[in-house]
Amino acid sequence: MSGYVLKLARESAARTQEQLAERLAVDTSTVQAWESGRRPLSAMNAGDFVRLCARLPRLGAPPSTGRYLRAAVEADLVLSTGITAGSAWVDHTVHPLAASVHRRTLTNLITWPFTGHLPPELTVFTPAARRRGPVAAGPAIGADERTRFFDHLMTVAERGVRPVEALLRRQAVYLLGFDRRDQVAGWLRGEWVNAGRRPIAGGDVTSLLEARSASVALASTGDGTHLHDFVTRTAGTDAELANLNYWAHWIGELPNDQADDGFMAEADTRAWSGVRLFHHLIGRLEPASPHLPLNLHTVHSLVASRPALLTERTIERDALAGALDVLASENVLSRDGRDQVAGLHYALRLADR
């Protein structure tokens, strides 16, 4: 990931590999090795990596280049750990999936080789010149490496059952949603039976997130039934607050990194405004989205907790009205979904008064 992000940064600065090598006082073969992954950026001396992140914007790359390179190195670490370990276990004390609660940018980078979709955050890297000849559309992982990575996630999900391994296990289960093997989908259904059917007591963030991760992963494989069930079970409970806190962290509204999932039970949500989350979710109220039930439910909860979003954010309010009209015209909503759309329409009418 980091090598490809470096390539995007170089191209956005209109530099050839030779020109970048000259400015950095290294051999052209070194830049080629960085970009191809033969010489991972994660193996660089820490000081040299910091200097590289600082130099690139001064050479014409976007100011955010360093942030995305650091995230890409972290994504490389997750992928390389899984690929190297295969079906072997890696303890949670050293596993990168247990280091912190992931945000959207990092997860998009980890899953990029499996989805083939350029992470939206990386659209800041606009090539300054047209590329010549055939070029790879993104970073690639071989079939054997892909199998080893997902086999490792399965090992983590099956063996990481202790409370101290909850974060490691949950994030592995989420990533399993990008594995398209039939046996994995079957395992995820079993996980939903175990996690999704258990009563979720107030403040029991672990059980809540196990059920959430399993249902979201299943929806990613094309089985959205369990996501409908999850939303129905959590509606009107303390789980709605935990869901909002999770989304706020995921989208980057919470300023601090989180070492575990405990922050989701925090009742005081004044640390984040909801503006970025509101904008993000409106763009995901698409009839074809496998995660529509959760996205719609979260918008409903967010507006209920922060009605000022409708009165103060006129552009987003108009976009929400348009998205709701599209959903209402399509035959994609459950009864609960139709009720949520009706409730949001009513809130929009109140905001217009």
Give CA–CA dist 79/95, Å, rounded: 11
- Residue of 292, 300, 283 lying closest to 334 (CA atoms): 292
Nearest to 184 by CA among 195, 197, 175: 175
Hey, what are 321's tokens? 């009205």
Torsion of CA 199, 202, 203, 206, to 10 degrees: 10
Predicted pLDDT at 197: 63
In contact, 243 and 298? CB cutoff 8 Å: yes
**pLDDT averaged over 10-residue windows placed end to end, the chain, 353 residues:** 96 96 96 94 94 96 96 97 97 97 96 94 83 68 96 96 93 92 90 70 73 88 87 83 92 92 86 93 94 95 93 89 94 92 94 83
pLDDT value for 230: 86
pLDDT at 137: 72
Amino acid letter at 130? Answer: R
To the question of pTM greater than 0.85 for the whole model, the response is yes
Joined tokens for residue 154: 């399965």
pLDDT at 198: 63
- What pLDDT, on the 0 to 100 scale, is given for residue 345? 95
